[in-house]
Amino acid sequence: MSTPAYSRVLLKLSGEALMGDDAFGINRATVEKIVAQVKEVAEMGVQIAIVIGGGNIFRGVSQGAAGMDRANADYMGMLATVINAIALGDAMNRGGLIARVQSALSIEPVVEPYIRGKAIRYLEEGKVVIFAAGTGNPFFTTDTAAALRGREVEAQIVLKATKVDGVYTADPMKDKTATRYHKITFDEAFVKNLKVMDATALALCRDQKLPINVFSIFKEGGLKRVIMGEDEGTLVHN
């Protein structure tokens, strides 16, 4: 078996990735497929940390949150990521992995608090660490949390899992002539206003020389091909 290109990665999963074809919530079959991809890579010896979003849960209450104070709405979104993290961790534990959930918000009866040294030790022990509640601060996205946690746990790359298999010159769902970027620099992503991550996360990764790969988690074997360094998704680098 070939040697993986990366030994420690930070996987960014949006909450929508857990929805499948549902309008909101958690689709069990979809979660099990994601777990299978993570397990395949973990069994190769790759250490995996995950930052999870909460859009799938928050979408179900979004109308009720309209007009709310932004900070309060963001805290609600953080709690949604905790729900997703617990669900994903449970699925991983049932699927043959050992997962630990750490939250940036203190909810100790439910999940562990985020402690950097403990997270790194879990990774070294072969456990999957799931980071919930973003950065713990309003006004910052889970993309930014992925960049921050990726740097903190000394990941070699941030893997942004989406429904599209990379970054394109235009929306491939609307423009059939759109082509995928195989590689692109951070500066090019800024100049061309490409939707890789939010600007804060992108700038943090650029400044910390932490590459990003945008790929489809729904493409069978996609995660493994990225880990092996194959031409999968779009690599964003310095």
Query: Would the annotation count 171 as a binding residue?
Result: yes
Contact present, 201 and 186 (Cβ < 8 Å): no
Residue 141 labelled as part of a binding site: yes
Neighbouring C-beta atoms of residue 100, cutoff 10 Å: 22
- Ligand-binding annotation for 166, yes or no, is no
- Whether residue 233 is annotated as binding a ligand: the answer is no
Binding site annotation covers 89?
no
Q: Annotated binding residue at 55?
A: yes
Tokens of 12: 């960014």
Q: How many CB atoms lie within 10 A of CB 131?
A: 29
CB distance 40 to 4 below 8 Å? no
Q: Is 218 annotated as a binding residue?
A: no
One-letter amino acid of 162: T
Residue 10 marked ligand-binding: no
Cα separation, 215 vs 14, in Å, equals 12
Handedness of CA 230, 189, 143, 175 (dihedral sign): negative
- Closest of 68, 60, 70, 53 to residue 11, by C-alpha: 53
Is 186 annotated as contributing to ligand binding?
no
The reply to whether 15 sits in an annotated binding site is yes
Q: E strands within the chain?
A: 8-13, 47-52, 99-103, 112-113, 128-132, 157-162, 183-185, 212-216, 234-237
CB 50 within 8 A of CB 13: yes
Between CA 175 and CA 138 the distance in angstroms is 35
4: annotated binding-site residue? Answer: no
137 is in an annotated binding site: yes
Q: Is 215 annotated as a binding residue?
A: no
59 is in an annotated binding site: yes
Is 168 annotated to bind a ligand? Reply is: yes
Tell me if 162 is assigned to a ligand binding site: yes
Is there a binding annotation on residue 93?
A: no
Binding site per annotation, positions for ATP: 12-15, 55, 59, 162, 168, 171
Which residues carry a binding-site annotation for UMP?
54, 74, 135-142
Binding residue numbers: 12-15, 54-55, 59, 74, 135-142, 162, 168, 171
